[in-house]
């Protein structure tokens, strides 16, 4: 029996932070507004800005002084992160009124699987209903992409902003996506774009016309995924539980005897590394931290980690690093359990696709690292990092917005 075609939405809030501030203070509506960490300092940068400000050529990471020069009437607002958290929570609550198959991706975007609640053209009507409701109840604009899979839905949502609704079918890929620059493809970061450009691959179509093997030879595991997506193929399901998963993949093994042979322990590490590498490939992630855990015969637990600048995902690399860490950690006492974990997971080819609340706070509070932030946000700027909405009373303090974001969804699930 043929697999049922899915109908997925990717909902992306438009200029989120700035839109939230305009919703909170209606006097800002229709005016060029910029959210900036410290607008009084000339070295401050723009965290996000309204569409009215963008019309003047202002963009995320632009220095405050330059933005002010481009638009003397630009209104600056300092970020109020609790408002953004509340707005995000309210937006996802609206989505869950229609289906439980909602997968938050970041504070301001998520996937929704509406396959079981609409058919055909009804999907467009539902998208308009959701979009209108978010605008009416939260006073926030959003764009929605409608497609049979996550990749196409994500690409579609970025095609019309603000307040756009775009349908992207698999059969539309050659006409709609292939003419686009390869750097506009979701999943292609600056490094990958340069590598492809250096090989003469300028458009998504150029990438699609290569063989899968050719792309794999150029980019490894990430190349396989990009080649499939260039053909509109993406089999990932909408997973409401993914937001609760820790950003790590690991395996551990309780040994049948308290082991003292280094050779035997290395063999176990090889097995665990293979399992971790297979799971990383299945999930489509790479990691930047390797952790090894040891439990001794007396139940004492020890662990050791190492962070890398380059991505880790191959079995051989995981095993090699894990053995080094184990050797540094092991006190030659009998071992009862050994574990291998790869942490700090990201999709390959992207340093970061969505910045966390903590990242926004860093931008606002730590101006000395502005150059580093600018480099990161140049990659991120292609998909834009902002969004907004309606408020209620502050119900408590927040030490970590990303933690609060996850906790909001956990509490909702447990209710």
3-state secondary structure of 2: coil
Distances (CA, A) of 381 to 144, 214, 375, 384: 19, 29, 10, 5
Q: Which one of 109, 193, 353, 361 is the catalytic residue?
A: 109
Query: Are the beta carbons of 66 and 60 closer than 8 angstroms?
Result: no
Exposure letters 26-63 (e unless 16+ CB within 10 A, then b): eebeeebbbbbbbbeeeebbbbbbbbbbbebebbbbbb
What length is written for the chain?
415
Q: Is 109 marked active-site?
A: yes
List, as own/partner pairs, every contact residues 65-69 make where C-beta atoms lie below 8 angstroms and the sequence separation is at least 24, other chains included: 67/34
- Cβ atoms < 10 Å from Cβ of 100: 10
Query: Are the beta carbons of 2 and 372 closer than 8 angstroms?
Result: no
Q: What share of the chain is helix, strand, coil (3-state, %, to 5)?
A: 45, 20, 35
Active site residues: 109
């Amino acid at each position: 029996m043929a697999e049922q075609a899915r109908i997925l939405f990717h909902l992306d809030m438009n200029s989120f932070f700035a839109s939230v501030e305009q919703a909170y203070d209606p006097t800002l509506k229709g005016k060029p507004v910029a959210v900036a960490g410290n607008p009084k300092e000339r070295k401050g940068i723009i965290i996000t800005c309204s569409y009215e400000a963008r019309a003047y050529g202002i963009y995320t990471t632009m220095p405050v002084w330059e933005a002010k020069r481009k638009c003397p009437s630009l209104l600056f607002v300092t970020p109020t992160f609790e408002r953004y958290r509340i707005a995000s929570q309210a937006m996802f609550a609206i989505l869950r009124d229609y289906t439980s198959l909602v997968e938050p991706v970041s504070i301001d975007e998520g996937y929704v699987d509406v396959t079981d609640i609409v058919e055909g053209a009804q999907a467009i009507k539902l998208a308009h209903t959701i979009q209108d409701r978010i605008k009416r109840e939260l006073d926030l604009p959003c764009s929605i992409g409608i497609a049979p899979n996550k990749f196409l839905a994500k690409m579609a949502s970025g095609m019309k902003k603000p307040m756009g609704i775009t349908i992207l079918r698999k059969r539309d890929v050659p006409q709609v996506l292939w003419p686009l620059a390869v750097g506009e493809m979701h999943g292609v970061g600056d490094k990958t774009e340069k590598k492809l450009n250096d090989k003469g691959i300028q458009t998504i179509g150029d990438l699609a016309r290569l063989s899968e093997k050719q792309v794999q030879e150029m980019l490894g595991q990430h190349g396989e995924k990009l080649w499939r997506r260039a053909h509109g193929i993406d089999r990932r399901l909408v997973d409401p539980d993914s937001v609760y998963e820790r950003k790590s993949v690991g395996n551990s093994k309780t040994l049948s005897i308290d082991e003292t042979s280094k050779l035997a322990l290395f063999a176990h590490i090889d097995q665990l590394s293979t399992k971790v590498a297979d799971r990383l490939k299945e999930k489509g992630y790479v990691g930047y931290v390797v952790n090894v855990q040891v439990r001794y015969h007396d139940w004492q637990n020890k662990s050791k980690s190492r962070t890398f600048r380059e991505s880790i995902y191959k079995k051989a690399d995981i095993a090699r690093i894990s053995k080094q860490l184990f050797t540094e950690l092991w006190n030659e006492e009998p071992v009862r359990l050994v574990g291998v974990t790869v942490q700090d997971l990201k999709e390959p080819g992207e340093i970061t696709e969505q910045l966390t609340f903590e990242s926004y706070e860093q931008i606002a509070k730590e101006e000395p690292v502005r150059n580093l932030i600018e480099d990161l946000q140049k990659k991120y700027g292609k998909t834009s990092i902002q969004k907004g909405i309606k408020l209620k009373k502050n119900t408590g303090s927040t030490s970590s917005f990303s933690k609060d974001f996850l906790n909001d969804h956990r509490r909702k699930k447990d209710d």
